[in-house]
Structure 1
C-alpha cells in the first residue's frame, strides 16, 4: 500500500479563538477544536456554547485534550519553526509572501496569472504542478493588480503606441482597433536604449556640475587669496599712515616744545640778570643811605664821586620777550605730512600692484632655435649674452638675422602672464613681447605696428619705449630687474622696475590677434662693456602668496 502524500496548511492548526497554533487542543461535541484555556475563558465570559457554530450546551462538562491533534500541532509548530528559520522574513521594502499567515516571509517570485507573490516554500507548487508550471513567474513585484487590464482582466502584455499605454491581448481586438500595437518587450528595449542615453546625459550633467563646483570653489579660493592680499596691503598702508601721523605729531610737539623752551630760557636769563641788578641797586641804596648820614665832609665828597662808578647802566626799556608765534606751525606740519603720505601711499600701492601682477608669473625659457648665431645661451636656456664670434648654425626660418634677438619658448594667446629679466651691470638691452608672425630676417624697426611691444636701454642711461620712434623715459633709479606683464584680453603690456616697485611704462589699447612670445635682446658685446648676461628670473608663485 503506498502512502498518500499530503500537505496540511497552517489554517488547519489554528485555534478559532486566539488565532494561534493549538495549545492543549480539545474537541467539543459539535466537532470544533479549540485551545483548552481559550474555551474555558470563553465560557467564563459568555454562555456555554461553541464559539464557532454557537451550538448551545446546557451544562459544562470535563474538557479532555485531543492527543492526536496535539501531536499534529506540535509537529506543525516544529516544522513551521524550521521553515521560518530557513527562510528570511520580509523586511521593510521587501515584497512579502501573500500566503504566509504568521510571519510574512520574503517573496522570491510573483505570479502574473495568480496575481500573488510566493516565498520559497509556497512557490513549490508552481515549480512541480504541471498546470501551474505554465504560469508566468517574474521577480517579486508589488501591486500585481496594476499589471492586469482593468477592462478585460487579462495581463498587460502589449503596448499601444497610438495611446502610449500598456494593453492586454484583447484590447487591440476590442478597444484599440487600427492602433499600432507592439509587444511590451519591443517597447521595453526601445525605452531601455533611450534610458541608457538619458543616463549618459545625466552623468554628463553631473560631471559638468561637479566641474562647476570645482570652478566655483577655485574662484572662491582665488577670491579669498585676493581678499587676504588686499587686506594685508590695506593694513600695511594704514599702519604706515598711522606711523607717519604719530611721527609727524611727535615732530610737531617737539618743535613747539623746543621753541617754548628757547623762549623760557631767554626769559629766565633776563630775569636772572634783572635780579642781579636789583641786588646791586639795593646794595647801592644802602651805601647812599649810609653816606647820607655821614658828617665828615671830606669822606662824603670822596665817597659821593664813586657812587655812580659801579651802578647798573643797562637800559631795559628796549629789552622785551617776544611771545613765539606758532601760527602756521600745524599747517606746515600737515602739509609736510600730506606730502610724505602721498609719497608713501604711492610707493605702497605700486608695490601692491607689482605683487598683484607677479601672481601671474610664468616659467619662461629662451628658444635656441630663434637665437641669432652670435648669442650664447646657458644650458638651462635662462641666460643669454652676445658672443664675439658667430656660430656656424644651420639655416632656420625662425632664427633672427642680423638682429641679435631671441624669443621665449612659451607662447600665450589668452589671459595674463608675467616674467622678469635681470639686467644688472648691462649697458644695453631690449625686453618685451612680440607676436608669432614678426619678420625675423633683415633690419625691422621694433614697434607695435610691426608686432613688437618693447622698451630698451642704450648707452647705459638712455631708456625708451619703442612706440614707433623711441619715446624717452625718465626714471628715478636704474632698474636692476625688469618685470613684463601682459593682459591679452585688455590689450595691456606693462614694464616694472621690480626693486623700486615702480611702473616704468605701459602700452595700452593694444589689439592682440595671435600668439605672443617673450622678446629679448641682450645687446652687443661692446668690447666687454656689455658682457654681462641677461637673465630670465625664476619666480616661485608659492613664495609670492606668502608675502
Structure 2
C-alpha cells in the first residue's frame, strides 16, 4: 500500500519528507516508506518489510480472506439449496396432508350423510304411512258421523210430534237395529311410533363410523415372558404392576433382567397402528417402541440409534423425549392416558395426550425390522396397587 498524497514526488514513488524512494512497507501504519523514515524518521522501530515481501504477505492474507469468503459462500449456497428443498418438501407435505385430511373427513361425512339420509327416509316413510292410515280412519269416522246424523233426524222429528202413529213407526224402525247399522268403533287408532328412532342417535352413528375409520385404539397386550421379575402382568395381559418382591419366574433369553420393562405381544412390521396406555396418577413411567432385537439383559439406552423411541415421565411433572439428545417437553396438562401412533412405512412415531389428542412429541425414523411396544411402570411407589399400574386401554364398541 502507498500513502495517498498530491504532488510529483508521490507520483514518482518518493517520500515527501526525505525525497527517497518508497521501498519499504510499515506493518504498523500500513504505509510505504523510505529507508530514512525507517532509520531516523517517524517509522523508526516499527516492523517493516520490503514492498515485494509485503505485497506477497498481503496477497496471502487476501487469498485466505477470499478462500474464507468462498467457503462461507458455499456454505450459504448449500443452505439456500436446503431451504429451497425444504420449501418444495413443505409444499408437497402440506398438499399431501390436505388431501389426506380431506379424504378422511369426506369418508366420515359420507357415513354421516348416508346415515342421515337413510334415517330421514325411514322417518318420512313411517310418518307418511301413519298419516295415510289416520286419514283413512278419519274419513271413515266422518262417514259414520254423517250416517248417524242421518239416522238421528227421524228420532228428533218424532220427539217433536204428538202423533202416536209416527212415533210408533220411528220406534219400530229403531228397534230392528237399523239406526245402529254402522256398528261399534272397535278398530284401534294408529299412532306414529317415533320411539324406535329415539335413543343415543349420535352414539349409534359413531359406532357405525368405525366401519370407515382405519386407525383406532387397538387392544394390545403385554407379553409376560418378557416382563422383568419385579413386574406382574395381569391375567388378561392388559395391566402391569411393579412389585417389591420378585416373582418366581425362570431365566429366559427374552426376559429383561436389569431394566424394569416389559414388551408388547404384537409385533409391528407394516401399516399404521395406535394404542393407548392409562398412566393414571403415576409420577414416573417410560413408554415407547423398540426394535424387536433390543437386548433384554443389562441396561437399556433409550435412544433412536439404539433402536428405542421413548417418552418418559419423572417426578410427576418432568416429561422427556429420549431423542438423539434428550428433549424436555413443556406439557401444561398432565395426561391420564398416553396415545402412541406408529406409521411404519411413513417412518413416524407420535406420542399424544389421548384425552385431548394433542401431539406431545414426534419421532421420525426409517424402520428396518419389526417393532414392539415397550413399557416400564418404573419401581414401586407409595400408594394403592391400582395407582402403580400401567393399563392398555381397550375400546369397547
Range of TM-score over shorter length:
0.3 to 0.5
TM-score of the pair, normalised by structure 2: 0.47
Higher relative contact order (CA 8 A, sep 6+): 2
TM-score of the pair, normalised by structure 1: 0.36
